[in-house]
Amino acid sequence: MHVDLSDLTILVTGASRGIGRAIARALGTSGARVAIHYHRTAEPAQALADELNAAEPFQANLATIAGGAQLFDDVTAAFGRVDGLVNNAGVAAQLPLDGSDDAWAEGWARTMHVNLRAPELLCRRAIRHFRTQGGGRIINVASRAAFRGDTPDYMAYAASKGGLVALTRSIARGFGDDGIVAFTLAPGFTRTDMAQDFIDEYGEDYATSDLALSRLTEPDDIAPTAVFLASGLADHATGATIDINAGSYVH
C-alpha cells in the first residue's frame, strides 16, 4: 500500500539521528513537508533536509520552557501550517540510586523536562493550532519501559515515558471532537546512539536476550508505522499504543 503525504506538514523532534531521523526520512519520502528539529547537530539535520524534497532544519533546546514554544512558532512561520507532530526527542540519563542528591534531582528534572514537559508544551501548541484548521495528528514516541519498567538506574526514563503515554491518551479522549487524534509508539531496545550507553553498560546479549525475533530493532523498523499513523488511515485507533519491541513485551 502506497501512502501519499504530499499535502501534509509534519514536525519531528530529535530528527537529526536515530529513530527521529528514520521517521523524518520516511515521512519525507512519502511526500510530506518535514520540519527537522535538532538541538546541537546542525550538519546531519541539514544533510537530511537536503536529501528530501521539502524539508527544513529547525534548532531548539527542548530542555527549556521557551525552546518548545519557539520551535512550534518557527515551524508554523516557515510552512504556514502544521498537520502533524511527532514528539521523538528524548534523553536517557543513567542515575544510580546511590548518586548524590543533587545529581539525582538534576537528572530527574532534565529527563522529565525533555521527555515529558517538552512534548506537553508542543502538544498544547499543536492542539491550539490544529483547532484552527479542522484537526491534526500527534504521534508520541514513548518506550516499552513505560509499561514494564526499566533497570534501577533508568527509573527516571521509565517514569517520564509512562507520563507521555498518559498524556497521549488524555489528548485522544479529550480532543477527538476537534478532529485531533493521538497515538503512542512504544519501541523496545533500538540500535541508536542513545541506546548505545545502555548496551555498553549491560552488553548487547542483555539487550537481545528477551527478543522473540533474531535481531535488535533498527530505526527503520519503526518509521513505517509513524508514516501509517500520520496518513489518516488509522485515525479510529486514536489513543492506541503501538508496540515495536521485537516481541520482548506484549500487553
The string of pLDDT tens digits covering residues 121-155 is: 999 999 999 999 999 999 999 999 999 999 999 99
User: pLDDT-based confidence at 223, cuts 50/70/90?
Assistant: very high
Q: What is the pLDDT of residue 1?
A: 60
Which residues make Cβ contacts (< 8 Å) with residue 207, sequence separation at least 6? 189, 195, 198, 199, 216
Report CA torsion sign: 95, 199, 242, 82: positive
Query: What is the set of active-site residues?
Result: 157
Please provide the average confidence, as pLDDT, over all residues in the chain.
95
Q: State which amino acid sits at residue 83.
A: D
Number of residues written out for the chain: 251
* pLDDT level of residue 189 (50, 70, 90 thresholds): confident
Grid coordinates given for 191: 540500535
The yes-or-no verdict on residue 73 having pLDDT over 90 is: yes
- Tell me the residue type at 168: T
Per-domain boundaries in the chain: 9-244
CA distance 14 to 39: 7
Cell of 107: 537528572
* Average pLDDT value for residue range 157-175: 98
Q: Is the pLDDT of residue 203 over 90?
A: no
Q: In the CATH scheme, what architecture does the domain 9-244 have?
A: 3-Layer(aba) Sandwich (3.40)
Global confidence as pTM? 0.95
pLDDT on residue 200: 81
Q: What proportions of the chain, in percent to the nearest 5, are helix, strand and coil?
A: 50, 15, 35
Report pLDDT digits (tens) over 48-65: 999 998 999 999 999 999
Residue 242, beta-bridge partner list: 185
